[in-house]
Structure 1
Amino acid sequence: MYLIIGALVVIASVLGGFMMVGGKLLTLWHLNEIIVICGAALGAYVIATPPKVMKAALSGTLGLLKGPRYQRVDYVELLKLIYELLQKMRRDGMMAIENHIENPKDSAIFQKYPKILADHHILDFITDCLRLMVGGNMNPHELESLLEYELETHHHEALEPANSVQKVADALPGFGIVAAVLGIINTMSIVGSAPPAEIGQKVASALVGTFLGIFLAYGYVGPVSSAMEKRAQEEGKAFEVVKMALVASLRGYAPAVAIEFARKLLFSDVRPSFQDLEADLKAAKG
C-alpha cells in the first residue's frame, strides 16, 4: 500500500508542478526516448545479471506490494518452536529431537507451526543447525563461528536482487543522456533546412530523454532498490534469532533464557514484550 502511495505522490508532484507553470503533458510523451532509455537499461541488466538474480529481483519487487514475511505473531511462533525443541533436548537429551529434524513435516512439534514449516529457507536453517548440535559435538564458539559464515552468505545472497536493481538506477541517468545526445544529433542534422518551430520540438524531445532517465532513477528504480534491501534485512532477522537461541542453549543457558537472548535481537516493531512471550512459552510448555 505504501509503495503505491509513494509512487503516486512522486508522479503527481512532478507532473503537477510541470503543469502549474503551463506545461503540457503530451510534450513529455516521446516513445522513441522511452524505447532508447528503458530498452538499453533492460538490455544492460540482462547482460550483467544472472537469471537467478533477475528472477529473485522480480519476485522481490512484487513482494513489496505485500507485507513483510514475518510479523510480530510469526516471530512469537518461531520463538515458541525453538523453545519447544530446546526443552525437549534439555529434558530427554539431544538425540530425542533427531527424528523431528530429519522429518520435520512428520514432526508433531513442527506441525504446530505451519508457516515456519512452509518456509523452506528458515526450516532448513533450523534443522541444519540442530543437526550440528546433535551430531557435531561442537563447542559454542565453533558453532557460532560456523553460523556467522552461513548467515553472511545468506545475507549476501538476499541482497543481490536489490544491488542489481540499484545498478539499473545508477545507469538510467546515463542512458537518459544517451537518448538526449541522439536527439541533438538528429536536430543538428536538419539545422538550416527546417523551420525554427520544428527544431525547437526536436530539442525538447532530446531534453525529455535526460528528464526521463533522472526521473526513473531517483523517483522509482532507486527507491524500489532501497525498499528491497530493507525488506531483505528485516527477513534476515529470523535467521539471527535462531542462531542466537541455539548458541545460547549450547552455552548452557536454560531454554527460556536462550529465547530471551533471541528476543532482544528483534526490532521494536516486531519484538513481543517479555511478559507476553513468557505467557506464550508457558502455554507451549504446558
Structure 2
Amino acid sequence: MVGVIGIIVIFVMVFGGYIAAGGKMGIILKSLPYEFAMIGGSAVGAFVISNDVPAIKHTLHDVGKVFKGAKWVPADYRDLLCLLFELIRVSRQNPVALEAHIENSSESAIFLKYPKIMSDREAVDLICDTLRSASMNYDDPHQVEEVLEKRIDANLHHSLHSSHALQAVADGLPALGIVAAVLGVIKTMGSIDQPPEILGKMIGGALVGTFLGVFLAYGLVGPFAAKLQTVVEEDAHFYRLIREVLVANLYNHSTNICIEVGRQNTPSHCRPSYGQLEEALKDVKQEAA
C-alpha cells in the first residue's frame, strides 16, 4: 500500500507541477507511446540479454515484494523462537525423538504448529541440517557458525539478484532516453523545412525521450530496486536468528538462554518483549505437558 502511495505522489508532483507551471500535456501524450516503446522495449531487451530464464522469472516474481513488504512479521519471529525452543528442549531430553522431527519435518507435530515457517523450505532445512550436524557430534560452535554464515550469505546473494538486475535497468534507462531523443532530433532535422511551430513540437517530442528515460530510472525502476533490496535484507534476519539460537545451543547454554539470545538478535521492530515471549513459551510448555 505504501508503495502505491509513493507512485501516486511521484506522478502527481511531477506532472502536477508541470501543468501548474503552464506546461501542456498534449505534446507529451502524443509522443509518449512511441518514446515508451523505444525506451521501455530496449530496456526489456537489455534485461533479457543480461539474465537467464530463471533469473527473469525470479525478478518478475520479486517485484511484488515492493508492495507486499517483508515476508516475516513480528508474530513469525515469535513463532520461530517457540519452534526452536521446542526442538532444543527435545534434543536435550530425548535426542532419539528429535531425529523423527528433523528427518521428517513435514509430519513433525512440532513443525506443523507453525505452517508459515513450514512453508519456507530454506528455514526448515537450515534448522534440520544444523540440528542433524549437532547430533553427529559436529559440534564445534565456531565451525558450525562459519558454515551457517556462508550458507546464509550465499542465499542472500542469490535473493539480491532481482534488486541488482532492476538497478542495472535503472542505470541504463537515462542513456536509452538519450538514444530515443537523438532519434527524435534526427527526425526533426529531416523536416527542417517545416514552419517553426511544427519544428518546436517535433523537438519537444524528442525531448520527451530524455525525460521519460530519466523519469523511469529515478522515479520508478531505481526506487523499486532499492525497496526490493531492503525487503530481501530484512527477511535475511529471520535466517540469521536461526543461526544465533542454534549456535548458542552448541555452546550448551540453557534452553532459555539460547532463546533469549535469539530474542536479543531479532530486529527491534519485530522483537517480542520479554513478557510476550515468556507468555508464548508458557503456552508451548502447557501444550507439551
1:73 matched to 2:75? The reply is yes
Deviation of the 1:79 alpha carbon: 0.7
User: What's the counterpart of residue 91 of structure 1?
Assistant: 93
- Residue 256 of structure 1 is matched in structure 2 by 256
CA shift for structure 1 position 283: 2.1
The C-alpha deviation readout for 1:12-44, integer Å capped at 9, x for no partner, is 000000001111222212121111100010000
Q: In the alignment, what sits opposite 1:4?
A: 4
Match of 1:129, SS state, is helix
Q: Sort the Cα spacing of 1:54 and 1:110 in 2 relative to 1 into closer, same or farther, 3 A.
A: same
2: CA distance, partners of 1:136 / 1:40: 56
- TM-superposed deviation, 1:136: 5.0
SS for the counterpart of 1:64 is helix
Give the RMSD, CA atoms, in angstroms. Answer: 1.2
C-alpha distance in 2, partners of 1:239/1:119? Answer: 11
Output the CA distance in 2 between the equivalents of 1:202 and 1:136: 75
TM-score, normalised relative to structure 2: 0.95
Distance in 2 (alpha carbons) for counterparts of 1:173 and 1:136: 56
Residue by residue over 1:117-152, the C-alpha shift from the partner in whole angstroms, topping out at 9 and shown as x without a partner, is 112221122112222222252311110011011011
Structure 1 gap segments, 5+ residues each: none
Q: Which residue of 2 aligns with 1:121?
A: 122
1:269 counterpart = 2:282: no
AA at the equivalent of 1:174: A
- 2: CA distance between counterparts of 1:181 and 1:169? 19
Say which SS state the counterpart of residue 69 (structure 1) adopts: coil
Structure 1 residue 54 corresponds to structure 2 residue 29: no
Q: How far apart, CA to CA, are the structure 2 residues paired with 1:249 and 1:271?
A: 20
Given the two structures, how large is their TM-score scaled by the length of structure 1?
0.96
Q: Which runs of 4+ in 1 moved over 4 A?
A: none
In 1, Cα distance between equivalents of 2:233 and 2:137: 29
Q: 2:70–2:232: 8 Å Cα contact kept in structure 1?
A: no
CA distance in 1, matches of 2:201, 2:149: 59
**Native 8 Å contact 2:127 2:242 kept in 1:** yes
The question of 1:170 aligning with 2:193 is answered no
Letter in 2 for 1:84: E
Of all paired residues, the percent bearing the same amino acid is 39
Which of 34, 37, 49 lines up with 2:36 in the alignment?
34
Structure 2 alignment gaps of length 5 or more: none
Give the Cα separation in 2 of the matches to 1:269 and 1:181: 49
Paired residue type of 2:114: Y
Which letter does structure 1 place at the counterpart of 2:138? N
Q: Counterpart of 1:214?
A: 214
How many aligned residue pairs are there?
284
1:64 deviates by 2.5
Distance 1:155 1:119 in 2: 15
